[in-house]
């Protein structure tokens, strides 16, 4: 069963009180680098916004770069928390989900993200753009002590006790859940994540990027919820 259909009983895990299911009307724009087969818009069933694409480049020294996407949300609804489901396949040594963060409790001054190298990267995906002024998509680096979390994951972080819960990696370590040598499957992986927005006056949204990776692999970003949580 789709967790969205479970209603309030699961709300504490996935999204907050008064949350809004993001639809196309809430999306300012999306930007991609080395992605193809793109499909984006509201879907039947939940009616929420969903983004799908496959990557054409794997990066890792390739002059054509790596692959990524940034989905920027409008600010017509006040929000400082976001949750979403990510489904993907393939492998990657280097990757970034949302605002990154290379530890379970990452320092909050990190600003690095894979998916934005190559000759045709949109300006909106650059590290100097206001959309990424503090971190990719202006989402704080992953830190469970500050309220970030992964849950309902399949074949990803919980599939091996060695895997480290983080949102940014580029290494050949055995705790890298996406690495070709250690991933439990090259097939479908998924998880839900809950993250905090950096309220720095700039728009924010969802970032995904991969490098040193298999090509022709897909990413689906769906079941996006936003809400405001008092500090």
Place of tokens 């809400």: 227
- Which pLDDT value is given to residue 203? 97
- Which pLDDT value is given to residue 117? 92
- Which pLDDT value is given to residue 55? 95
Beta strands in 74-188 (DSSP E): 81-88, 92-97, 149-154, 168-170
Cβ-proximal residues to 62 (8 Å cutoff; 6+ apart), any chain: 118
- Which pLDDT value is given to residue 91? 86
Averages of pLDDT over runs of 10 residues in the chain (231 residues) are: 39 64 96 96 87 92 92 95 95 90 77 89 94 94 94 86 88 86 82 95 96 93 94 72
- Which pLDDT value is given to residue 45? 66
- Which pLDDT value is given to residue 17? 63
Give me the helices (H) in 15-150, please: none
Q: Report the C-alpha gap between 139 and 141 in whole angstroms.
A: 6
* Domain definitions of the chain by residue range: 16-227
Q: What's the CATH number for 16-227?
A: 2.60.120
Phi, psi of 95 (to 5 degrees): -160, 155
Please give the order of strands across the beta sheet that includes 27-33: 27-33, 67-73, 205-213, 92-97, 168-170
- Which pLDDT value is given to residue 38? 96
Report the chain's mean pLDDT, rounded to a whole number. Answer: 87
């Amino acid at each position: 069963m789709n967790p969205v259909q479970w209603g309030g009983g699961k709300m504490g895990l996935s999204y907050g009180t008064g949350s809004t299911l993001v639809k196309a009307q809430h999306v300012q724009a999306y930007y991609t680098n080395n992605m193809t087969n793109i499909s984006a818009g509201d879907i039947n069933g939940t009616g929420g916004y969903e983004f799908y694409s496959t990557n054409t480049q794997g990066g890792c020294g390739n002059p054509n770069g790596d692959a990524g996407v940034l989905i920027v949300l409008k600010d017509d609804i006040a929000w400082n928390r976001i949750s979403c489901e990510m489904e993907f396949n393939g492998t990657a040594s280097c990757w970034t989900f949302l605002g990154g963060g290379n530890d379970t409790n990452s320092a909050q001054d990190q600003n690095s993200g894979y998916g934005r190298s190559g000759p045709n990267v949109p300006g909106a995906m650059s590290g100097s753009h206001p959309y990424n002024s503090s971190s990719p998509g202006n989402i704080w680096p992953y830190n469970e002590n500050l309220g970030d979390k992964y849950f309902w994951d399949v074949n990803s972080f919980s599939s091996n006790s060695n895997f480290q819960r983080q949102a940014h990696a580029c290494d050949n370590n055995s705790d890298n859940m996406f690495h070709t040598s250690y991933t439990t499957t090259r097939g479908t992986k998924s998880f839900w994540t809950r993250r905090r927005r950096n309220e720095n006056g700039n728009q924010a949204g969802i970032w995904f990027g991969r490098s040193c990776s298999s090509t022709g692999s897909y990413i689906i970003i769906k079941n996006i919820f936003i809400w405001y949580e008092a500090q």
